[in-house]
A and B are shown apart, each in its own frame.
Chain A
Amino acid sequence: MMSDHLLSLVTFLPLAAALGVALVERRAEGAIRGLSLLASVATFVLSLGLWAGFDPAAGFQFLEDAEWIAPLGARYHVGVDGLSLVLVLLTTLLSPLALAASWRSVGRAVKEFHVALLVLETAMLGVFVARDLLLFYVFWEAMLIPMYLLIGVWGGPGRFYAALKFFVYTLAGSVCMLVGIVYLYVAKGSVGFDLGQLASGAALGPSEERWLYWAFALAFMVKVPLFPFHTWLPDAHVEAPTAGSVLLAGVLLKMGAYGFLRLALPLFPTAFWCFAPLVAALAIVGVIYGALMALAQEDLKRLIAYSSVSHLGFVMLGIASGDPLAASGGVYQMLNHGVSTGALFLLVGVLYERRHTRLLGDFGGLAAGMPRLATAFLLIALSSIGLPGLNGFAGEFLVLLGTFQVRPLWAATAGLGVVLGAVYMLRCYQRVFHGEVVHEENRGLADLDARELACLAPLGLLTVVMGLFPGRFLAVLDPTVRALVEGGGP
């Protein structure tokens, strides 16, 4: 019985916990934090059951299908394939870490904070499991609200501008998508919103398909974010609290690429491959441009935000190259980016809690007094710049290897991003950790404590495990991604 609804349980447990938290007395902050963390950890443990029971060769699993909005033909239809599953796990892993990281740093409106975070978790999971287009859209929009609040309420001094920018940007994209959904629903006739049937139903006219593709693609491009739709990201990250940044970078930035693979590719294959070179070009520009921007930044969070633009460029290049190896590498890179960048934002959060600044110039020489932090930061930075043996390399390697087989020059150009990655990351590391301590405030800072280590350890461990045994993870996602790419391949 439970396994019949395991997926729904995983998806809605955080929301149920949010309702529970909402009932707790406002002053009982310990209970609020404890309950939230417990629910979130339980969600993760349950999601491991999905991983254990998953058969990579068998397509969508843990399916649940029930009537939802009968007059429209929309159904509560959920399930996971390899692509969804790994992203579900990424979400259930990062959410408790984000909560634990906020244990002390969030002291204002604690109850609302936890409700928002738990609602966000359910919304993110919903996006990854929905098999019904309307259901997908509901979750997609539902994500926006708690993230908007996280930035706008618990953010830094410029939070209003950043939150509004985030909201308007993504909403603009979403409105396009909504129009596309409605049009598609009408055009496809009586199949309802079921994704499988929408993909296989009556063919669309060529120009119709292209317009619809763009309605969806714009929403996804903003979310990725692809150059030149990226400028909301640095602002959002700089102002967001640590937990917001972790989930924004770790999970929300995967939504765009996921949308391309889950919706744009199967629904509009001809248009997708027709515009794939353009997407790839934007991705390559993003790889280089993001890295150059990261090189110019003085604010740690802004720097990491731009590095995300660069990394997500690799992801999109892999997906748009048309090569199944590159696409699998791109999806693997989504996970790697979630792990490393999630950890980077946790680390920056640690620094910010102690010094209340994120400017590179305010640090310097921290390695001597904070060896544990320096070591952890180094490991994650190396993972982020794709040191072989760690996770980032496996993803970048597959993306570039696969892309090289079809478009050697694309791969060679994007490869420059790997060199630039080392430039900006080591510069950042040096500015924070090397040299003499020049600011008195940096003396005697406490090194990582047990709670912080516990937050970072799973991610640090994953960078090594995912680097040494990428096959274990790729075996889960590769059949799905390969089928998607080859299904309508160029």
Chain B
Amino acid sequence: MEGVTHYPIEAQLHWIVLAPLLGFALIGLAGARLGRGAVSLLGPAAPGVAFVYALDALQALRGAPEATVLAEPLWSWLDLGALSVSVGLRVDALAATLALVVTGVGFLIHVYSVGYMGHEPDGSYARYFAFLNLFTFAMLVLVLADNLVVFFVGWEGVGLCSYLLIGFWYRDLANSDAGRKAFVVNRVGDLAFVLGMFVAWRAFGTLDFARLNQEAHDDGGLATLCTLLFFIGATGKSAQLPLHVWLPDAMAGPTPVSALIHAATMVTAGVYMIGRLGGLYAVAPATLAVVAWVGCLTALYAGWVALAQRDIKKVLAWSTISQLGTMFVAMGVGAYASGLFHLVTHAFFKATLFLGAGAVIHGLAGEQDLGRMGGLARRMPVTALCTLLGALALAGVPPLSGFFSKDAILFAVGVSSVPGRSALCLLAWSAAALTGLYVARMMTLAFLGAPRSAAAAHAHEPRGTMAFALLVLAALAAAGGALGLPEAVAHGADRLGAFLAPGWAGAGHGPAAGAGGHAGLLEAERALMLRSGLLGVSVLAVGVLACTAWGGALEALFEADPGLAALRRAALGRFYVDEVYGAAVVRPLVAGSRLLWRVVDVGLVDAVVNGLARLVGLAAVALRPLQGGLLRGYAALLAAATVLLVVWAARGWFR
């Protein structure tokens, strides 16, 4: 396969990762002693500084030839002849895009947190920002890594921060449980990821991203095997079937954490990973097909479940799972740039939605149940407007950001050569339609109608830092599509695609990026945009109508028909996947380990040993007169023997 030509340029990249690390170290070590003001400044400053340095890297890239890579080797992790792993940072177009999202959205969410976490006691407030900075650091290590080992440090590092922040309010064991669940489920995926690294090393003799992408070939299916194993890792980190179960529980963490980690950045790491290894995945079409199908099924499944949730954060969590599925569909059909585009717009609009939900929860004194909201548009107009922008973008209403990115993906699926394309197409469109429905339901229940609780009736708007961050993100959610307008709209308008695509040149990526100029395709894309735009608007309208005007009738319908009622219960119960895991894995493991301990360890191994000892003991009865039974006596005897032995041993030496 023809390799991609990269032009590594030495650059200073370490400040991008060092800034949040220093923030973590300072806030973590000094803690509450820093004072609340200092923490409020330092916390957001860390990702802010990193953002500036990332912008700097972006500028350097834009001024350089296509497919330039900025590289900064740091130190040798280990060098054992056969295996040599170095620690180094690299920034190409892909990494720069992600780094800007992580630091930019990250900065805004840090700012928002100053207000949102304002009620926390000093120590806990400092701990929160220390963890959030640590997360930013780990995520940037992941993004800037130049090989799989460093990448994995970031990969598990963000998982650790996720664990720490989900269980932030650890006094409630349910939160702590949710954190553990996230860590352990991710560990299952990570085991596959590590095995993938072993396969990659065996097949290609390297763990460097650049060399893996350049030298990829699929002799004996090893590339297929290792990309599949990596993808299993991604199903953990990015909450895809069947390892998605941790993400809904992760909503136990503070809402800004859900926005940053469990929507905008960490959970997209799996998508980024496929983009990072685009050249390797390109030689493994079988894996790509699996990626597309798993993503699509996840998108559909999670959309269904989102439709039934009552907790506003759970709706958003399932929506995130569904949208991540959509991104994987894009990666799976080889439309890497479209997948990344959706990653970026999703970071904007989903962060907006979560921060909007956070404002609602904050304004309603902790209430998360949609059933106890209602009429909030009147009480919190700014929040309602911002959330609406995010919601419209999510539902794919033109000309908001999500419309363009989702559209690019639907188009790419249609023109791809993925196995089962027609079915995939149909399912992807269905998932998109479901999005409109659950968005409409959530918005209607929260913001329209009459207040259904005292808290809802007395809700208040967020102020200060919270409002600021929310407004900026809402603007991004609305206008972010401008980054990647399709060729069909204006020639050369897909700036993100044009920026990213050279990095995958020769990787046989799909037509979505840089397919410009083909008249027939452009025509087809225009037609598709019209259809998907209409779909977005109409589904949303139907959804709102269904929830308001026909709400009662629908309720009655669902109650009357036992089949529909069961379906709704199943969707509410996440289709019982957690219960299956509980019965098939968790409980057998816990009970089994206890049983094994009592029966095998104590009952068998130890019993044999003690039995033998008893036999010896019987024999020893004859020798009993030799023993005084005083421990001091033994001690003295043994010590004396040791000393004698040593003196005797040293005899020859001193002669």
Contacts and interface: CB of A to CB of B under 8 A. Distances in A.
B337 to A, nearest CB: 29
Contact of A68 (B149, B172, B653): B653
A389 B78 contact: no
B187 interface: yes
B606 interface: yes
Main DSSP-derived SS at the A contact region: helix
B642 A292 contact: no
Contacts of A482: 81
Interface in B76-118: 76-83, 87
Interface string B483-519: 0000000000000000000000000000000000000
B171 A434 contact: yes
Contacts of B172: 435
A138 B153 contact: no
Contacts, number: 169
Interface residues of A, number: 74
Given A152-B631, A153-B635, A422-B183, A325 B649 contact: no
Given A115-B639, A435-B173, A168 B613 contact: yes
B33 to A, nearest CB: 12
Contact of A293 (B177, B597, B631, B634): B597
Interface in A208-261: 228, 230-232
Contacts of B635: 112, 149, 153
Interface stretch (A334-342, A439-447, A466-474): A466-474
A359 interface: no
A115 B649 CA distance: 19
Nearest to B74: A468
Given A76-B653, A469-B75, A389 B153 contact: yes
A415 B176 CA distance: 25
Main DSSP-derived SS at the B contact region: helix
A449 interface: no
Contacts of B183: 422, 426
Contacts of A427: 180
Interface in B33-83: 75-83
A422 B80 contact: no
B638 A382 contact: no
Contacts of B589: 292, 295, 423
Contact of B593 (A116, A293, A397, A411): A293
Contacts of A70: 652
Interface stretch (B191-199, B261-269, B325-333): B191-199
Contacts of A69: 649, 652
Nearest to A294: B593
Contacts of A228: 605
Contact of B652 (A67, A112, A418, A423): A67
16 contacts: A68-B651, A142-B642, A148-B638, A149-B638, A165-B613, A292-B593, A292-B596, A297-B597, A387-B157, A389-B156, A400-B194, A401-B83, A423-B589, A434-B171, A436-B171, A474-B78
Given A66-B652, A387-B160, A418-B187, 10 more contacts: A325-B82, A387-B156, A387-B157, A389-B156, A422-B183, A435-B170, A435-B173, A469-B77, A470-B77, A474-B78
Interface of A: 15, 66-70, 76, 112, 115-116, 119, 135, 138, 142, 145-146, 148-149, 152-153, 165, 168-169, 228, 230-232, 289, 292-293, 295-297, 325, 328, 365, 367-368, 371, 382, 387-389, 394, 397-398, 400-401, 404-405, 408, 411-412, 415-416, 418-419, 422-423, 426-427, 430, 433-436, 468-471, 474-475, 478, 482
Interface of B: 31, 75-83, 87, 123, 127, 149, 152-153, 155-157, 160, 163, 167, 170-173, 176-177, 180, 183-184, 187-188, 190-191, 194-195, 197-199, 201-202, 589-590, 592-594, 596-597, 601, 605-606, 609, 613, 616, 631, 634-635, 638-639, 641-642, 645-646, 649-653, 655
Chain A to chain B: the 7 pairs with minimum beta-carbon distance, closest first: A471-B78, A404-B198, A434-B176, A292-B593, A296-B597, A68-B652, A388-B153
